[in-house]
């Protein structure tokens, strides 16, 4: 039964259905999940459910986007008003994909997934729209992280020289100690 439902969701035109329920979540990604970045394959893996690119987006509120830990992981620090209006990409995802992303981001132990306003331009029409999306933030972080270099648009291979390090674990965060980034 589940397999049939999944097939219908993946082939909505054939069955003349709109899969609005299962694609109910919008996620804004700003780090390794973006196109051409090291974890983008999580969004395209058919075993992870469904993700559909909606548009490039930018956070309505400014936040510090930093790179930290020995694995050079990008983090959006929950410090509204500091940093930049951060650039990223908005995706619509189904329940299965959202649960897979939560595993990668170790939500709610490491990143915390929170709703936030994202500004997008649809169909290059230049008309801006604000959409509410899930975003993976670091909360309760060490204040020293605010002294790190802050970015507007993350890329692992940028001139900062801090490329993201993969780990053998499903989530790289499994290899880290919590006190690497969190307040004691
Ligand atoms: N992955 C998530 C959060 C940070 C990261 O590397 C993202 O791309 O939005």
Residue pLDDT, tens place only, 102-125: 999 999 999 999 999 999 987 767
What is the pTM assigned to this prediction? 0.87
Q: How many CB atoms lie under 10 A from the CB of residue 149?
A: 10
- Choose the residue to mutate in 39, 41, 51 for probing ligand 1, maximizing ligand atoms within 8 Å of C-beta: 39
Hey, is 168 helix, strand or coil? coil
- Choose the residue to mutate in 42, 103, 136, 158 for probing ligand 1, maximizing ligand atoms within 8 Å of C-beta: 136
Q: What residues contact residue 63 under an 8 Å CB cut-off, 6+ apart?
A: 76, 77, 78, 79, 80, 82, 83, 84, 86, 137
Q: How many CB atoms lie under 10 A from the CB of residue 25?
A: 17
Q: Compute the average pLDDT of residues 29-42.
A: 98
**Atom 8 of ligand 1: nearest residue by CA position:** 31
The maximal CA–CA distance of the chain, rounded, in angstroms, is 54
Judge whether 95 and 116 are in contact, CB under 8 Å: no
Q: Quote the pLDDT of residue 166.
A: 86
- Choose the residue to mutate in 65, 78, 105, 167 for probing ligand 1, maximizing ligand atoms within 8 Å of C-beta: 105
How many Å lie between the centroid of ligand 1 and the Cα of residue 14?
34
Q: Say whether 105 is catalytic.
A: yes
> Does residue 66 register a pLDDT over 50?
yes
Give the confidence band of 15 by pLDDT, cuts at 50, 70, 90: low
> Does residue 71 register a pLDDT over 60?
yes
> What ligand 1 atom has the least distance to the C-alpha of 32?
6
Q: What residues contact residue 163 under an 8 Å CB cut-off, 6+ apart?
A: 72, 156, 157
Q: CA dist 18 to 6, 15, 23, 36, 156, Å?
A: 13, 9, 9, 29, 36
**Ligand 1 shell residues, CB under 6 Å:** 29-34, 39, 74, 105, 136
Q: Quote the pLDDT of residue 55.
A: 95
Percent of the chain with pLDDT over 70: 88
> What ligand 1 atom has the least distance to the C-alpha of 164?
6
Give the confidence band of 22 by pLDDT, cuts at 50, 70, 90: low
Overall residue count recorded for the chain in this entry: 184
E-only strand ranges, the chain: 25-29, 51-59, 65-68, 73-76, 87-93, 112-121, 128-137
> What ligand 1 atom has the least distance to the C-alpha of 88?
9
Of the listed ranges 11-15, 25-29, 123-127, the one predicted with least confidence: 11-15
Residue with the bigger pLDDT between 15 and 80: it is 80
> Does residue 143 register a pLDDT over 70?
yes
Q: Quote the pLDDT of residue 122.
A: 77
> Does residue 1 register a pLDDT over 50?
no
Q: Taking all residues of the chain, what is their mean pLDDT, rounded to a whole number? A: 90
**Atom 4 of ligand 1: nearest residue by CA position:** 31
Give the confidence band of 149 by pLDDT, cuts at 50, 70, 90: very high
């Amino acid at each position: 039964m589940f397999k049939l439902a999944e097939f219908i969701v993946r082939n909505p035109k054939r069955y003349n259905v709109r899969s609005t329920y299962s694609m109910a979540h919008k996620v804004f990604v700003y780090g390794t999940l973006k196109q051409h970045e090291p974890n983008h394959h999580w969004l395209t893996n058919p075993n992870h459910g469904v993700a559909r690119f909606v548009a490039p987006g930018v956070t309505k509120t400014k936040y510090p986007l930093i790179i930290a830990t020995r694995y050079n992981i990008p983090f959006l620090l929950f410090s509204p008003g500091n940093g930049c209006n951060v650039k990223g990409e908005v995706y619509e995802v189904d329940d299965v994909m959202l649960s897979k992303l939560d595993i990668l981001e170790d939500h709610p132990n490491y990143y915390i997934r929170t709703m936030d306003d994202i500004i997008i331009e649809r169909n290059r029409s230049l008309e801006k729209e604000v959409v509410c999306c899930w975003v993976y933030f670091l909360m309760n972080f060490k204040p020293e992280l605010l002294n790190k270099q802050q970015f507007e648009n993350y890329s692992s291979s940028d001139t900062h020289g801090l490329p993201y390090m993969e780990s053998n674990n499903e989530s790289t965060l499994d290899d880290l100690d919590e006190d690497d980034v969190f307040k004691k």
